[in-house]
Amino acid sequence: VKDCFQQACGIDEEWWDCKPECHNTCENYARAEACEDTVCNEGCFCREGLIRDVDGSCVDPEECAEPVCLDHEEETDCMSPCNRCTANCHSCKFFMCRSGCDCRDGYKRDDKGVCIQAALCPKCDVPSSDSANSSIVN
């Protein structure tokens, strides 16, 4: 059955039984959206190294249009994947450096990928904020 689905995938696509969609489009790639806690989906995904463009085709990330930064975002040469509300709740290690849109100072990405004031981030369900903040790496 799986082979039937694989044949239905388009050019530069392949079938996956379980793959997070994070970093699978030009839009979320340009915003360094983290894959933590992302739902696993089955279906046709772009082959390794390619991401989905706005027209639905699979392209090299360098072929994506320049990102249009939204409210409370700014263009940067090196986005921080730790600039999220959830990074306050557990350890975050800086693991990539690429250009795109990142939240301005004083803002962090919420679980929908929108930059909100850091003070509005939900509180963590951890025993003490000291233990959560001590493992954050910026």
DSSP H or E run through 6: helix 2-8
pLDDT at position 64: 87
How many angstroms separate the CA atoms of 33 and 22, rounded? 7
Domain ranges of the chain: 1-65, 67-124
Residue 86: other Cβ atoms inside 10 A: 18
Per residue in 59-98, pLDDT tens? 998 898 887 888 999 998 888 878 888 776 777 776 667 7
Domains 1-65 and 67-124 share a fold: yes
Q: Is the dihedral of CA 68, 70, 76, 78 positive or negative?
A: negative
Q: For residue 74, how far is the Cα from the chain centroid?
A: 16
How many angstroms separate the CA atoms of 68 and 33, rounded? 15
Q: Bridge partners of 109?
A: 84, 115
- Domain 67-124 homologous superfamily, CATH: Laminin (2.10.25.10)
Q: 3-state DSSP call for residue 60?
A: coil
pLDDT at position 83: 84
* Per-residue pLDDT of the chain in tens (138 residues, 90 and over written 9): 555 544 589 999 999 998 877 767 888 777 766 565 567 888 999 999 999 998 999 999 889 888 788 899 999 888 887 888 877 677 777 666 778 889 999 999 888 889 999 999 988 775 544 444 444 443
pLDDT at position 118: 93
Q: Quick one: fold of 1-65? A: Laminin (2.10.25)
pLDDT at position 2: 52
pLDDT at position 50: 93
